[in-house]
Amino acid sequence: MQNRAFWRDVIKNSYALPQGASLLPLTDELLDYLAEADAELRDTFGYNVLARWIAVYRYHTSDHMRHMLNWLIDQLPHDIGATDSDSVLLRSYSASILSLIMYRDVKEQFFTIVEVITVLTAARTYLLDERDTRAFSDRLGWINAIANATSLLRFTVMNPALNAPDLRPVLATVRDKVMQEDNPTLFSHDEEDRLARVIIAIMLRDELTTFDYVDWLQPFKAWQITLREHESDNYNRATNITYQNIKHFLRALYTQMQLKPNLPLFAHEAQSELLEVIRAYTM
């Protein structure tokens, strides 16, 4: 294992692989750092160096990427469901490195369709099952599990190997995450925007129809109708958090659609329905 001075020198040298160094043992060491509570090891070395080696310098071959992909997918369920635990770091940073690998595959397409769908399924499951929603910790530094999960999902849905039947379930996954009522956490670090960007990425694929999006929006509307029908004077914290998260997500999606004039026609046709649902959540 290298000392900190070694990795600091790598960073000073624009993150280039040192001359004569062996890529794979160093890669394995950096992957091990993803679980470290020490932010310098995990974030400054582990994530930042791997990000340059994977997405900028492209040192790793397709076989190297496949080896990393399989290892990282296996980390996503590690201690899943735990909250306020350091175990979230390995899950979150594994998702982050996976997103870089999938970004590269969008450009080079070295994975098979089976491998891409395997990642898509793992990403959907991880987003729904991750319960540690801390973005930052004074002790640990950046955690960002939800941000990294959405990045993985967003870069995966960009993959040209996927088609409409693969993408429709992702719409449902994002909606289900937004509408989670089992001990929800209020969005406070732009989670609604990150989730909305997954939907925008799907829209830009131009694989789905206006009906797909209108149909996807109906549970949001139904949830609000049911809430009003059962409204009482008793304050329910979980219900209020879900209400706020839905409202913020829908508004974020509408804003991002407005900022993307190159969206396919069907997306603009779906905007009127989206606006109607937003109206139901507006005082």
Indicate whether 125 and 205 sit together in one domain.
Answer: no
Q: Is the pLDDT of residue 230 over 80?
A: no
Indicate whether 180 and 144 sit together in one domain.
Answer: no
Closest-CA residue to 200 (of 147, 242, 158) = 158
> What is the spatial distance between Cα 164 and Cα 30, in angstroms, rounded to a whole number?
36
Indicate whether 142 and 217 sit together in one domain.
Answer: no
Indicate whether 10 and 146 sit together in one domain.
Answer: yes
Q: Model confidence over 144-174: pLDDT tens digits?
A: 999 999 999 999 999 999 999 999 999 999 9
Indicate whether 152 and 34 sit together in one domain.
Answer: yes
Indicate whether 114 and 185 sit together in one domain.
Answer: no
Q: Residue 233's pLDDT is what?
A: 66
Q: Model confidence over 175-220: pLDDT tens digits?
A: 999 999 988 899 999 999 999 999 999 999 999 999 999 999 999 9
- Cα–Cα distances in angstroms (integers) from residue 11 to residues 15, 45, 154, in the given order: 4, 8, 28
Domain stop point among 138, 162, 186? 162
Domain stop point among 141, 162, 183? 162
Q: Model confidence over 21-71: pLDDT tens digits?
A: 999 999 999 999 999 999 999 999 999 999 999 999 999 999 999 999 999
Domain hosting residue 93, numbered range: 1-162
> What is the spatial distance between Cα 137 and Cα 89, in angstroms, rounded to a whole number?
11
**Percent above pLDDT 90 for the chain:** 90
pTM listed for this prediction: 0.96
Indicate whether 139 and 203 sit together in one domain.
Answer: no
